[in-house]
């Protein structure tokens, strides 16, 4: 998998996570809950899974721009070969991080999430270094 395909996969994964939240909200609206029930300052009872899906989505949004800039810079510089298959590893680590987030909040899952996150950060640094070298 090349870096651009991995970037598209990362984007698709980010969209999938927000779709989970939107589907739940849609079902709640169909059940009669007002559409404006989810204000930022409101403390609405939301199932843990939906809260975790929302947080996993936000985590993706924090890192997607970094990954996108690295991949698009590689394309613009004609250095996509410098990234090799590292994008695939970034995507894999992102999916592991999100799945651990969705499953629960037990300590082992938090450690898995943190490990997957630091793998991504390490790969971002390595890819940047490869582009700038």
- For 25, the enclosing helix (H) or strand (E) is helix 3-30
pLDDT of residue 106: 98
Question: What is the tens place of the pLDDT at every residue in 45-87?
Answer: 889 999 999 999 999 999 999 999 999 999 999 999 999 899 9
Domain boundaries, the chain: 3-132
Rounded distance, CA 3 to CA 82, Å? 10
pLDDT of 16 higher than 80? yes
Rounded distance, CA 100 to CA 33, Å? 30
**CATH assignment, 3-132:** 1.20.120.550
Global pTM reads: 0.91
């Amino acid at each position: 998998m090349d870096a651009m395909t991995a970037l598209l996969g990362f984007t698709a994964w980010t969209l999938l996570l927000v779709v989970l939240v939107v589907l739940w909200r849609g079902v709640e609206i169909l059940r009669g809950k007002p559409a404006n029930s989810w204000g930022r300052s409101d403390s609405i009872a939301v199932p843990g899974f939906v809260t975790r899906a929302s947080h996993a989505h936000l985590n993706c949004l924090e890192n997607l721009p970094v990954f996108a800039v690295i991949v698009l810079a590689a394309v613009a510089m004609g250095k996509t070969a410098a990234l090799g298959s590292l994008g695939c590893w970034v995507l894999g680590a992102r999916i592991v991080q999100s799945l651990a987030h969705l499953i629960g909040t037990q300590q082992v899952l938090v450690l898995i999430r943190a490990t997957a996150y630091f793998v991504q950060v390490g790969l971002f640094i390595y890819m940047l270094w490869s582009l700038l070298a």
